């Protein structure tokens, strides 16, 4: 294997691990009393600042036409609302469980393509759907007969659906923008959407103190800017399909962090449910034709 492909696989692993650090930044902020809306306000806001500096250093402008701006705004709304749903679900479910269920978005993407773009359902798609539903059923019913929160499950599934809609929509058009410019505008409109969410729900803006700034900066740097940067390298060197398959490390990282650092239980039922869901994702990604770069995760 060439050196370029080694670099690509390494970048894909780093991108997946970086995105899996979402609980590492979010849960300590929750423990400090920071609300989900505020966590996302600082995650998106600090990411916008980082991207502005990045683009300035690269000498890239920000000019974009109104038509493209509307499309980018729709993408920003879908991505940010997906993030809101996921982060609120952390109050109802273990972060590891939520992160695993979120990774059913490729299944939803396949179903949306069948429903709206008349793609044919293949045997890999059918098998993946069965495995994913079986995995979710195992996660829904905890050990000892304890049922997981219905509200939390619905929030994560909503997050997955919104991200699937994001993927379907982003693949319907092309723009003459660099990945950094494209992502900057999506994140900016996402930040504005988070602000609108906070206004509509009456969630007041909280000022961060002490180590909270460090956790918020971690959320901006690792699962947002860092993950996007390395996934772009991976896609360029090994292609979108292998890079997406490596994304299966994301929920695994989230579970590892949640169980080792935050004391969340790792049970046999959780392990089997995760294996079924990740198996479904690998089938749908690895055996279905894909094209174009993989967009960023929420």
Question: Could you tell me which residues are beta bridge partners of residue 141?
Answer: 147
Separation of alpha carbons 84 and 194, rounded Å = 8
Length of the chain (residues): 298
Q: Which residue has the higher pLDDT, 287 or 79?
A: 79
Q: Given a cut of 60, is residue 211 above it in pLDDT? A: yes
**CA 107 vs CA 157, 172, 272: distances in Å:** 11, 18, 18
Close Cβ partners of 94 (under 8 Å, ≥ 6 residues apart):
258, 264, 265
Contacts of 35 (CB under 8 A, 6+ apart): 203, 206
The CA distance from 248 to 103, in Å, is 8
Place of tokens 């995995």: 135
Average of per-residue pLDDT across 66-94: 91
Tokens 């609120």 label which residue?
Answer: 88
Q: If you average pLDDT over residues 195-219, what whole number do you get?
A: 95
Tell me the mean pLDDT in the region 172-195. Answer: 85
Question: 262 vs 79, which has greater pLDDT?
Answer: 79
Higher pLDDT, 145 or 195: 195
Q: What is the mean pLDDT of residues 176-197?
A: 89
Q: What is the pLDDT of residue 266?
A: 78
DSSP-derived 3-state class of residue 60: coil
Mean pLDDT of 243-259: 74
pLDDT at 177 over 70: yes
CB 104 within 8 A of CB 280: yes
Mean pLDDT for the stretch of residues 4-10: 83
Cα 148–Cα 112–Cα 133 angle in degrees, nearest 5: 30
Confidence of residue 99 (pLDDT cuts 50, 70, 90): confident
Q: What is the pLDDT of residue 293?
A: 46
Neighbours of 114 (CB within 10 A): 14
Q: Would the CA dihedral through 184, 290, 159, 267 be positive or negative?
A: negative
Round the CA-based radius of gyration of the chain to a whole number and report it.
18
**3-class SS at 141?**
strand
Task: Please report the pLDDT score of residue 19 as a whole number.
Answer: 82
Q: Alpha-carbon distance 208 to 232, whole Å? A: 31
Q: What percent of the chain has pLDDT over 90?
A: 31
Instruction: Report the C-alpha gap between 264 and 15 in whole angstroms.
Output: 24
Digit-coded pLDDT (tens) for 125-166: 778 778 877 887 776 655 555 567 899 999 999 999 998 888
**Which neighbouring-strand residues pair with 147?**
141
Query: 268-286 and 105-117 helices cross at what angle (nearest 10)?
Result: 40
Spans of all domains in the chain? 3-286
Residue 183: the pLDDT is: 83
Instruction: Decide if pLDDT at 22 tops 80.
Output: yes
Q: Mean pLDDT over residues 89-117, rounded?
A: 82
Q: Is the pLDDT of residue 296 over 60?
A: no
């Amino acid at each position: 294997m060439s050196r370029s492909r080694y670099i690509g696989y390494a970048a894909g692993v780093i991108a997946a691990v970086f995105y899996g650090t979402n609980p590492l930044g979010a849960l300590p902020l929750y423990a400090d009393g920071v609300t989900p809306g505020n966590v996302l306000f600082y995650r998106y806001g600090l990411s916008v600042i980082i991207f502005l500096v990045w683009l300035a250093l690269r000498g890239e402008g920000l000019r974009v036409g109104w038509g493209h701006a509307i499309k980018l705004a729709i993408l920003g709304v879908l991505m940010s609302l997906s993030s809101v749903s996921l982060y609120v679900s952390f109050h109802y479910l273990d972060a590891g469980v939520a992160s695993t269920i979120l990774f059913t978005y490729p299944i939803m993407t396949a179903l949306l393509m069948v429903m709206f773009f008349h793609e044919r359902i293949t045997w890999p798609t059918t098998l993946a759907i069965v495995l994913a539903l079986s995995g979710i059923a195992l996660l829904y019913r905890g050990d000892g007969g304890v049922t997981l929160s219905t509200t939390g499950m619905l929030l994560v599934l909503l997050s997955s659906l919104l991200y699937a809609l994001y993927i379907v929509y982003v693949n319907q058009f092309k723009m003459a923008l660099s990945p950094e410019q494209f992502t900057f505008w999506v994140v900016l409109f996402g930040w504005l959407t988070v602000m609108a969410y906070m206004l509509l729900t009456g969630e007041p803006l909280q000022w961060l103190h002490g180590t909270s700034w460090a956790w918020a900066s971690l959320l901006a740097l690792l699962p947002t800017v860092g993950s996007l940067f390395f996934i772009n390298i991976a896609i360029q060197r090994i292609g979108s399909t292998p890079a997406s398959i490596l994304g299966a490390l994301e929920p695994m990282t989230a579970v590892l962090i949640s169980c080792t650092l935050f004391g969340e239980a790792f049970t046999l039922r959780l392990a089997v449910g995760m294996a079924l869901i990740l198996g479904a994702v690998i089938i749908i990604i690895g055996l279905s034709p894909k094209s174009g770069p993989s967009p960023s995760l929420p």
